[in-house]
Amino acid sequence: MFGKLFGKDKKDNRTDTVNKVSKMNLTEMRSYVNNKQADLPVDADGLLAVMTKLSLPDEKTQKLYIEQNDMDTKKKKAFDIVILVAKQKKMSIGIVDMLQKFIENYQDIIQKYDTDLKEIYDSRLNDSVAFAINSLDTIDAIKAKMKVLKE
């Protein structure tokens, strides 16, 4: 309602969020996902933009965000961001799809990271995807109940 009064449209906010997220580095993405940026609230479109940036190749360079020869800290930050995104309440099918694409695209990097540094990110990432799918199922069940209550 107030958006119409002040001349802002939801589409403008959505594209603004996606544009801001697409220019973020890993530290800024982490603070966004943790909802610590006052000027940019977390929403499903922003989370999808984060996961798209991490999961799919860049349009210009055709390179993935993480490469095999990147520093371990960059890999760890990216893995942690993916786990944080999976725990968010604002879940959508597109986000779950990007979570699965992330694991598919980086499976060899995740396994090498785990064996080299004795971590368990492979299982943590798979568990986080399962948690996101359960969250999505819960959201759908609640929406179905609300629809029945409205009728």
What are 40-62's pLDDT values in tens digits? Answer: 889 999 999 999 999 999 888 89
Is residue 116 very low, low, confident or very high in pLDDT (cuts 50, 70, 90)?
very high
Per DSSP, 62 falls in state -
What residue type is 67 in one-letter code?
E
Q: What angle do CA 124, 126, 41 make, to 5 degrees?
A: 80
- Domain of 8, in residue numbers: 2-150
3 versus 37: the higher-pLDDT residue is 37
pLDDT tens-digit map of 57-115: 988 889 999 999 999 999 999 999 999 999 998 889 999 999 999 999 999 999 999 99
Helices 107-117 & 121-150 angle (0-180, nearest 10): 130
- Angle, helix 44-55 to helix 72-86, in steps of 10 degrees: 150
Residue 85 vs residues 34, 51, 55, 58: alpha-carbon distances, Å: 9, 8, 13, 20
- Please give the Cα distance from 148 to 145 (Å, whole number): 5
How many Cβ atoms are within 10 Å of 89's Cβ, its own excluded? 9
How many residues does the structure list for the chain? Answer: 151
Distance separating alpha carbons of residues 65 and 56, to the nearest angstrom: 8
Instruction: Say whether pLDDT at 38 is over 80.
Output: no
Tell me which DSSP letter residue 89 carries.
Answer: S
pLDDT at 22: 86
Instruction: State how far the Cα of 32 lies from the Cα of 21, in Å rounded to an integer.
Output: 8
For the cut 70, the answer to whether the pLDDT of residue 138 exceeds it is: yes
- How many folded domains does the chain comprise? 1
The answer for residues whose C-beta is within 8 angstroms of residue 97's C-beta and 6 or more apart is: none
